[in-house]
Structure 1
Amino acid sequence: MNILTDSIRKDKEYGELLSAVVKGKTAPRALPILISGLCEGASDAVYASLVEDIKKTDKRAILFICSEEKECVRVKSLLKQFGFKCAFYVGRDLTFYNITASHEYEHERLKVLSGLLDGSLDAVVTTPDAALSYTIPPEKLISSNMKIEYDKTVIDPAELAKKLIDAGYVCVEMVEAPGQFARRGGIIDIYPTFATFKDIDGQESRGAYPFRIELFGDEIDRMEIFDSATQRMTVTLDAVEFYPARELLIDSEKRAELKKAIESWRAKSKDSRAIEEMTSEIAVLDTDGDINFADKYITLVYPERMSLLDYFGEKTTVIIKGTTAVYDRIKAAQWHQSQTVEELLSAGTIAPKYTDYSKPEAMLDVFLDKSVTLHFDSLGQGMSGKKLGAMFTFRTKHMVSYCENLELLCDDLGGYVRGGYKVILVAENEAAAKNLSALLSEKGFSAIIESDKEDYAKGEIPKSAVLIWWKNYIKGYELTTPKIAILSTSPESREGGLSGAAQIKRKKKKRSGTEAILSYNDLEVGDFVVHEIHGIGQYMGIENLTVDGVSRDYITIRYAGSDRLFLPVDKLDMVSKYIGAHSDDGLVKLSRFGGNEWGRAKAKAKAAAKDIAKDLIKLYAERSRRPGFAFPADDDLQADFEAAFEYDETEGQLAAAEDIKEDMMKPVPMDRILCGDVGFGKTEVAMRAAYKAILGGKQVAILVPTTLLALQHYQTITSRMRAFSVNVDMISRFRTPKQQAQSLRRLKRGDTDVIVGTHRLISKDIEFKDLGLLIIDEEQRFGVAQKEKLKQIAENVDVLTLTATPIPRTLNMAMGGIRDISVLDEAPVDRLPVQTYVLEYDELILIEAIRRELRRGGQVFYLYNFVETINDCAAKLSKAIPEARITVAHGKMDKEQLEDIWGEMLAGEIDILVCTTIIETGVDIPNANTLIVENSQRLGLSQLHQIRGRVGRSARRAYAYFTYPRNKAVNEIATKRLEAIRDYAEFGAGFKIAIRDMEIRGAGNLLGSEQHGHLDAVGYELYIKLLNEAILEEKGEKVKEKPECTVTLRCDAFIPDKYVPYSAQRMGLYKRIAMIETNEDKDDIVDELIDRFGDVPKQTMSLLGVALVRAAAKKCGITSIIEEQSEIKVLLSVFDFEVWSELSDIYRGRIRVIMSENPTVIIKKQKGEDVLKMLHELFCKYYEILQNYI
């Protein structure tokens, strides 16, 4: 039972409407039903009631058709609130050219189609053009479905791999995203786009999770879901059923057919561009590459010409919202499609018989004639001239939200109660419901929270009391006939709470921000590396060598000249990936093996690190010694503020907020970075910190790089904090000198709680009464001088830095543990990702992209980063699209002119803004949802990501086109940038991009340009190690240098190729094994190896043992361990007589010492003993005894 839907059921019209629907289900032909008179809140309640009531007798999904994607998202969110399994079927963006594109939307469509086939959906929401577009036929999807059962399925790995490839899955070394699979001998990892999982307890869940199959012969030995980040298994499975990863499935036969057709069309073409394009397509088909242009040939691939509608049977319940607008959208979409077809035909790149890509409008009418169709139209339009089965008119009235006027709420409540109305007051959440109940009780009303009494849980509304409901959000409305009033206290702008579908619960280990950073790193053949002793070389791969009958893996590092170093893999802790300066061709100067040059460079870097450590200690360590302000623990007011947030927080937001508040409660100044992708909720986390500071009696300053951002933040914060009596002010160029003077006085008196501003905030005339928290948005946008002033202001106050893509300098400090970092890496629910394309510049493609955006009433950012010729670019666009309103914006314009342009963009008075990177930070333009970047290879990776964040800020789908010059070579570094921006198209990519950016362009400098050369000379990781050691020394802590230790034991110690076939994966494992310190570290890796690759081979267990022995030996000052036939020689850097005397007593008769310039200990072996275990225990005992003498 639900109070809101039950209120609708009390309306007589609804009862008759439901009867008409039920009757239509059994009638030979159901005529359309028209529903009018419903305001938005009431129509939402009717939707939810209909889904609930119809599903009682008809288990099939209900189809909602809306005229706008934004409305689809809203309806989907609404129905999910009420507990229904609802999905949004996003329309196809047909790709007619050979350009790479992200596949998120394709996966979403397949998820919907599979949900319809397996009956797991209650409702599907879509637009009419999406419903009519061709897609994979149901029969093909069913035949491509794969089901794997633990005790029934027999698997041939090669056959399964072929089937996965035919189903559109891509074979990779390690699965990280949906649509991938990996094969390692008898272990197969699959990351389905959507699947039904059944665990060993028989519980079923649906979602997109990677799972691993371990085979014993051709039978399944184990099958489990695993975490793609850690590669560790989490849930044991009994069965998995999943569908293909692509809509267009093109096997070898279809590929040959397609190639033959294109060759035929190419032979007939006389257009040089068309011939070039088709030649390129044939080349792709010959190389078995991804067929990015396949949409153009969809009817050749699927001659059945089927769409979403073919997944619904007869007598489907169809709800059409806004009939006229729905049919207008069909006409517009199909007209624009016809224009594209004409261009393809005139270019000669396609044959006339393959030029339809969706069903005609008439086919929608045919489908609706066989369905029970409900037309919702508030004014009853759109059905004139059509014969109706029934028509229902509700009497409802929209009620505005009372969120900011509770006094008016009390006045209106009195009128409703006296008028005999039953009143339901909808609150945001349980905390808000309790607050409302207390407020109304003070005003003399009898207010009851629905969950307080069983009687009210049954849906009965008390006659003389106000019922407060908080379990679903809905806009307010009044039902006149049954006299029911639904009143809302939530903001009108809210589009409904979001709740995800049922998911498998997996345990997550909380990772620190630094661990999150390091988890994105890798090493591949050809990368430059740094060996702590031998210097900068190039990693050339892994080789297995047998020396004295013992097999081990060695990594090969190339140095200057023809020198090679073969390094045992157990010494990989001495090697790190080189992150520093590269030449224009991507090369790095290699060290000369055995020369003095590396030693000199390392010594200089160490001296420089000592200098910088002094500054770091002064800036950061001194902050920890200087008393700050310890804010009090959270109270009810803080809880109320957080409960008032209108959306569901992500786990990342909650964790970050707690980390920040914990820092604020410490008696030392906070210095924390909050890194989160665009739209991930950094502002809300920052506002919780700000409100905590205000409750502690302190002022808050929010510093932003531009005047427009200051205005945007001011409006956001004012709206969020208005109900909590917080005084927010702004100081920027938007304010007159008189207004600024007044603001300064209020700030000095302490009348202002929060001040938002640009660098004007760090001027000399700014005085705070008691500043407690400084929030800096996009720190990298401020200059060096401004940052120096910031350091002075922030000396005694808490500092929170917000960034979407942290600059390498900031990132360095976080990775080195110098600053704390919190990471928001969870995508918001139901947010549409930006469809990203990377392509050669093609005017036809770009003009069509612009026209498509303008056709849907949107705006376009066209980034052209050459001020001298930017007007020529605008003129070219104006000639191609004369109807568009085009304006130019660049950094050489004065601020007032730019402010005016942004204002015109916000007002929708500009269609295309041709601009430079000035848009990298700017106000949100929700209506601008297409971005085109010319010469994107010239921009930095973080810049590209930040610029992409300018679009996709509304419920409408957004597009980003990153172009590079046609027929012109792009250097290696620029190519890596474009590959990264394409690969990291998903939400949360900002953080990964920052890491990739640091690798591509070097780590930058930590405190000044004078340090840059030292960092480049030795590489980032070694420099940080030297810096950390210098910091410890500056703190007065003794840094004990561990001697290098060589371990030569008579056992094969390596990871066999057959066990881990990919060298990049073996390299990553070797690196981690070389860094183990304890038995717990070893056990963790063993568990992971078993999870990922199966039972651990003897050679790999030996390798782990060797690593453990080496770690223990280094702590004891041992430089070499050599195993011979009957004894083991141990060389020492320092000889401790007392320690070895005690050990001799413990190991009677087995230990003897040879005193010389290099003291040597001889350990006698015993027959049949585990040498690795014995050595580890001996060295651990040595270290334990040693501590007694320190």
Structure 2
Amino acid sequence: MLQAAFYEFLQTKNECELLGVKGDKEAFLASEVALYCGKKSYVLPDLRANYGDDLLSFHEEMVELLRVLYAFYHDASSKKILISPLRTLLTPLPKVELFSTLTLAFGMRLHLERFREQMFYWGYLAVDVVQGKGEISIRGDIIDIFPPNSDYALRISLFDDEVESIRFFECESQKSLKDELEEWLLFPALFALDESRYALMQRRIETLKSDSFTKDIHSLGLWVLGESGDVYTERFKTYLSMDAVDECNEIALFDEEGVKKLRLLPSLSTPKAYREIAPSNIKTFIELHQKKKITLLAKNEVLLRMVDLDALHVKWIQSERIVNIMSADEVILSLNKPLSKQKRKRVRIVLDELKNGDYVVHENYGIGIFKGLTQVSVLGATKDFVLIEYLGDDKLLLPVENLHVIDRYIGESGGLVSVDRLGKGSFQKLKAKTKERLLEIASEIIAIAAKREMVEGLNIAIENEELQAFQADAGFMYTEDQKRVIDEILVDFKSGKMMDRLLSGDVGFGKTEVAMNAIFATVQKGFQALLIAPTTLLCAQHFKSLSHRFAKYNIKVAQLDRFTTAAQKQLILKELKSGALQVCVGTHSLFDVELFNPALVVVDEEHKFGVKQKEKLKNFRENVHILSMSATPIPRSLNMALSSIKQYSQLLTPPSDREDVRTFVKEYDEKVIKEAILREMRRGGQIFFVHNRIATIEAKRKELLSMMPNLRILTLHSEISASVTEKEMLRFEEKAYDLLLSTSIIESGIHIPNVNTIMIDAADHFGMADLHQLRGRVGRSKRQGFCYFLVKEKESLSESAKKRLIALESNSYLGSGSILAYHDLEIRGGGNLVGEAQSGHLKNIGYALYLRMLEDAINALMGKTPVASREVDMKLSISAFISDSYIAEDRVRLELYRRLSRCGSIHEVLEIEEEMLDRFGKMDVPTKQFLQLIEIKILATQHHIVLVSNYGQMITLKYEDEKKQTLQSRSRDDDDVIDTVLHYLRNPS
């Protein structure tokens, strides 16, 4: 409703200078409408800091806030509008006087000491090596500085006191880029203060009541702005959106006085003519509304091609806007997709994370050492290759279009890696041995699948209206992933075959909701469904969810686990046998029950069941639909391997209303602990308190009780028996306790949405990955999560511990660390699915290749040849590479090469082409030709062609059956050769 309401408002009124909305998502939607209507829109981030909070925990928001305010202040346009989430409006924001700039220009004189001092007052942090925004390093006549308003850091070279050159440089490699800048407008890292103003703010900080770990302008600057701070709602003509008016009640808890002022502001009216639209099939939608005035918005023509719309026959505006609204006589529809931070998926094993000297595995030549990209010219044609070094200084040049044949080497952790020798055949022998074992594993998997193939599937066809009504009761919008997976399950149900689908997705991404749709469809057709979980805690969680969702539909749900009484158990078994009970949630005891007419078994975390239980599950698999759920990601190659005999779905998108986890580093202090616990309890929540020493955990319990005598504390650690732990955790989940005091046993596998504050005692004794894992235990619901890293004395901390904690606090560490964590999860996930990992084989050939070979073994046993195994030998003498003038960074080019080499369809290439245009602008000739080369490779594979080569104008295509096709291009120019090959492959008849 926001886009429709704001669009109508802007058509009639123009006096709005500031629009207050609920949060980030609403700010983006409003901004798109403003931009479409010709306004200059400036969007502030959702800064949810309370007075006195440490602003390092809001590092990204602070950088964005200052960047946007600077741009807004320095825009002289009368058509500008500031859009802000409500919580940001309640914060004192800096006035224009704190946004001075300094122009750095080639040839100017720079007094180094004066400059150093000015940058200190402007909030730049002096470091040895510049790696993040707001840092500066001065080394003799070289100044490295990373301004917040730049995507790259700057390197300024001085000759005496004169600026000799200004260049960008990459923090990862610390190498300067070639192009020199004439000048650069330098922006403050925080506020543009002088000595006196800085001293005044520092004095105010010393008297400010705050328990921040660090007490400086970076941590507490906004709270001491004084007369340099501004109340924006008093200065600009301000309106509130409807959702912002609703949000006022939610935020009154944080700032009652501020909310009183907000409630006096005018709000947007409910839209009368327009409404918002979200068509699933754009082509059909346009055909249905073709009599209306239709405006299509698309960034480029590639998007029109992707939805199969002819650019010549559709009226479209080249625009990046995302506005989707409709009235009785007009449609405004966007083909662009929002760039969501969460949805930007990284490639599974990201080659740009590889550094020179890392180990890789080539599927034919074995383990070698990665030596980066190199460019080679042969017969006038230039191409990029990856250089891999083998034993005895042997080198292999791998064409970048075949990058998919290598993977990062993942073996056993801590094991020594031995590099293979090129051309000796020893690696092929290792592969042959591994293949034998993999064939055994594959035949076992196929045997189960074959039995199921012979059984006719139970047909479950539910009416759409019924399911839509059930989904509407969820109380939240499903993610696109959830909708897709539910559709996949419903197709399986109607296929006449038995479903065996694996659903993987992080905790809280909505797997249970998907399972409930499947269970609902099953029960509505008169069948029974079971949900089996490995622990009573998980079982209780599922029972609670199912009972709540199915109560409205009179669907009977029971729970069967070790805490069910004998009398209850007897009744449940009887009702399952007679069919009186439709849904039962339980642990492994459900494997032995007799059912009246079962159709679906949902198994959560299957890999956590024992061998005997897995055997029983195999018997189940022969005559009912199976949906297995796992919180561990499944490796891509294993997914491919299982796809022919087992369906696989992933939930990769977190719910849109999922909050992030605010992280604070605090000195251990009773006041801090008490305040954090009371804040969580005031909103009806519970707390995790991690104390990682069993010897002193009881003393810690007494200490907490001395602070808060009425606090209900549950203490758990590894020396307490599993049955007691399980029973007590259930009681904790039922809110019998306020706080769980435990060792780091809660690090994985616990999902209690009501716990949204975690405190980690002696956090400086944990590794970064452990702290990241522990922090992930909270913030799993719609509530804001809070994480407190408690340290004894900040003065006694080592520099590395300080840096580690502050990096976690400001969230700047995200990147390669999370990718490594993902790799670990993949390995565990793969091991769980394949069975007991063969450590010897894994060490010899690496994990990724091991899984790829399992895929081949399964395909071989099923008589299928995977498309990917038919390699095309590309010998076209054309210059085709992603040029370094188009994308300067090797690591980014490698990532794109990797992704393009894995493309299996033209559509995937178009998606990457569209992304490249978006990120890097118009392509140069060699880059465009490389994408066409990939297109040729894909089409040739589809037509069973094994060789594409040319000599001048003569082009030869060789097929698998040795048949040859000769073509002749108009000239020997690259573009003519490419056009000729593509024309033939697109129209081979």
Per the alignment, in what secondary structure is the counterpart of residue 701 of structure 1?
Answer: strand
Structure 2, unpaired ranges of 5+: 35-40, 103-122, 125-130, 136-147, 155-179, 207-211, 267-322, 326-331
Equivalent-residue separation in structure 2 for 1:121 and 1:1089 (angstroms): 30
Instruction: Indicate conservation of the 8 Å contact 2:680/2:756, yes or no.
Output: no
Select 2:576's aligned residue among 747, 750, 760.
Answer: 747
Q: Which residue of 2 aligns with 1:92?
A: 49
TM-aligned CA deviation for residue 862 of structure 1: 1.8
State how far apart, in whole Å, the 1-side matches of 2:95 and 2:344 are: 45
Aligned residues of 1:1043 and 1:1133 also touching (Cα < 8 A): no
Give the equivalent residue in structure 2 for 1:812. Answer: 638
Q: TM (normalized to structure 2)? A: 0.66
Distance 1:783 1:514, change over 3 A: farther
Q: Which residue of 2 aligns with 1:572?
A: 403
Equivalent position of 2:287 in the other structure? none
Match of 2:388 among 539, 557, 561: 557
Determine the structure 1 residue equivalent to 2:600.
773
2:893 maps to which residue?
1066
| Percent of pairs with identical residues | 25
Superimposed CA distance per residue, residues 962-1011 of structure 1 (whole angstroms, 9 cap, x where no aligned partner): 6899968999xx999x989957989xx99978744346879536422253
Post-superposition Cα deviations, 1:658-678, rounded to whole Å, max 9, x if no partner, equal 222111222222122333444
Partner of 2:359: 528
Mark the CA change 1:509 to 1:532 in structure 2 (over 3 Å): closer, same or farther: farther
State the partner residue of 1:960.
787
How far apart are the structure 2 equivalents of 1:575 and 1:324? 55
Paired AA for residue 598 in structure 2? L
Q: Which residue of 2 aligns with 1:612?
A: 441
Task: Indicate the residue corresponding to 1:1030 in structure 2.
Answer: 857
Given the alignment of the two structures, is residue 800 of structure 1 paired with residue 800 of structure 2, yes or no? Answer: no
Contact 1:813 1:1006 in 2 (8 A): no
Per-residue Cα deviation, 1:151-210 (whole angstroms, up to 9, x for no partner): xxxxxxxxxxxxxx99x99699xxxxxx9975799xxxxxxxxxxxxxxxxxxxxxxxxx
1:833 matched residue in structure 2: 660
**Whole-Å separation in 2 of the counterparts to 1:625 and 1:324:** 59
Using the TM superposition, give the Cα deviation of residue 1080 of structure 1 relative to its aligned residue in structure 2, in angstroms.
7.0
Q: Is the 8 A contact 1:935 1:963 kept in 2?
A: yes
Structure 1 residue aligned with 2:752: 924
Instruction: Quote the residue 2:479 is aligned against.
Output: 650
The aligned residue for residue 177 of structure 2 is: none
Matched, 1:737 2:566: yes
Matches within 5 A, 1:158-197: none
Q: What SS does structure 2 have at the residue aligned with 1:1009? A: coil
Offset at residue 750 of structure 1 (A): 0.9
Q: Compute the displacement of 1:887 (Å).
A: 3.6
Compared CA separation, residues 701 and 1117, structure 1 to 2 (3 A)? closer
RMSD: 6.3
Question: Among residues 168, 190, 193, which one is paired with 1:250 in the alignment?
Answer: 190
- The structural deviation recorded for 1:795 is 2.7
Alignment of 1:145-294 (within 5 A): 249-250=189-190, 254=193, 294=218
8 Å CA contact 1:528–1:539 kept in 2: the answer is: yes
Question: What are the superposed Cα offsets for residues 473-502 of structure 1, whole Å, 9 maximum, x if unpaired?
Answer: xxxxxxxxxxxxxxxxxxxxxxxxxxx998
The worse-fitting range, judged by mean Cα deviation, of 895-904 and 307-316 is 307-316
Q: Tell me what 1:899 maps to.
A: 727
1:190-236 deviations in Å (ceiling 9; x for gaps): xxxxxxxxxxxxxxxxxxxxxxxxxxx99xxxxxxxxxxxxxxxxxx
Report what 1:714 is aligned to.
543
CA pair 945-745 structure 1, distance change in 2 beyond 3 A: farther
Counterparts of 1:289-300 in structure 2, within 5 Å, are 294-298=218-222
Give the one of 480, 504, 511 matched to 1:682: 511
1:910 aligned residue (722, 729, 738): 738
Distance 2:829 2:563 in 1: 38
Go from structure 1 to structure 2 and tell me whether the alpha carbon gap of 1:809 and 1:317 turns closer, same or farther (over 3 Å shift): closer
- Determine helix, strand or coil for the equivalent of 2:484: helix
Distance in structure 1 (CA, Å) of the matches to 2:698 and 2:14:
64
User: Residue 223 of structure 1 aligns with which residue?
Assistant: none
Q: Distance in 2 between matches of 1:87 and 1:258?
A: 25
How far, CA to CA, are the matches of 1:322 and 1:1128 in structure 2? 66
Alignment CA distance shift 1:714-1:260 (3 Å):
same
The question of 1:723 aligning with 2:663 is answered no
Distance 1:508 1:125, change over 3 A: closer
Residue 482 of structure 1 corresponds to: none
Correspondence for 2:617 among 790, 793, 803: 790
Counterpart CA distance in 2 for 1:96 and 1:1178 is: 63
1:583 match: 414
**C-alpha separation in 2, matches of 1:1041 and 1:984:** 36
Kept in 1: contact 2:509–2:655 (CA 8 A): yes
- Measured at CA, do residues 739 and 779 of structure 1 come closer, stay the same or move farther in structure 2, by a change above 3 Å? same
Specify which of 300, 306, 309 is matched with residue 229 of structure 2: 306
CA shift in 2, pair 1:517/1:955, >3 Å = closer
Structure 1 residues 260 and 701, CA gap change in structure 2 (3 angstroms): same
**Preserved CA contact (<8 Å) 2:756 2:786:** no
Residues 1183 and 747 (structure 1), Cα distance of their counterparts in 2 relative to 1, 3 Å cut: same
Trace 1:656-675 onto structure 2 (pairs within 5 A). 656-675=485-504
CA distance in 2, matches of 1:101, 1:315: 25
1:666–1:120 Cα change, 3 Å: farther
Which structure's CA Rg is the greater one?
Answer: 1
**Shift of the alpha carbon at 1:570?**
3.5
Shift of 1:303: 5.3
1:704 corresponds to which residue? Answer: 533
CA distance in 2, matches of 1:948, 1:522: 28
Contact map agreement 1:104 1:833 (CA 8 A) in 2: no
- TM-score, length-normalised on structure 1? 0.56
SS of 1:1004 mapped into structure 2: helix
1:925 and 1:953 in contact (8 A); partners too: yes
Cα distance in 2 for partners of 1:304, 1:1167 equals 74
Q: CA deviation at 1:645?
A: 3.6
* 1:135 aligned residue: 93
Deviation at 1:132, TM superposition (A): 6.3
Displacement of 1:1182 after TM fit?
11
Distance 1:1171 1:921 in 2: 56
Aligned pair count reads 818
Contact 1:570-1:1074 at 8 Å conserved across structures: yes
Listed one character per residue, the Cα deviations across residues 283-341 of structure 1 (whole Å, up to 9, x for unaligned) are: xxxxxxxxx970234467x453525566556999999999999999779xxxxxxxxxx
What's 1:17 paired with? none
Q: 2:716 aligns with which of 882, 885, 889?
A: 889
Amino acid of the structure 2 residue aligned with 1:776: V
Give the drift of 1:641. 3.0
Q: Is the contact made by 1:184 and 1:1093 (CA closer than 8 Å) also made in structure 2?
A: no
Question: 2: distance between equivalents of 1:323 and 1:556?
Answer: 59
**Aligned AA for 2:400?**
V
- Correspondence 1:540 to 2:366: no
Secondary structure of the residue that 2:650 maps to in structure 1? strand
Taking the aligned partners of 2:219 and 2:344, their CA distance within structure 1 comes to 41
- Alignment check: 8 A CA contact 2:47 2:61 kept: no
Deviation at 1:733, TM superposition (A): 3.0
8 A Cα contact 1:1047 1:1122, kept in partner: yes
Deviation at 1:545, TM superposition (A): 3.5
1:824 maps to: 651
Question: Residues 944, 758 of structure 1: CA spacing in aligned structure 2 closer, same or farther, 3 A cutoff?
Answer: farther
Contact 1:542 1:556 in 2 (8 A): yes
**Contact 1:854 1:911 (8 Å CA) reproduced:** no
Q: Quote the Cα distance in structure 1 between the aligned partners of 2:943 and 2:14.
A: 76
Q: Map Cα deviations across residues 34-82 of structure 1 (whole Å, 9 max, x no partner).
A: xxxxxxxxxxxxxx9xxx9xx9999688999xxxxxxx99xx99xx9xx
Mapped partners of 1:684, 1:1017: distance in 2:
42
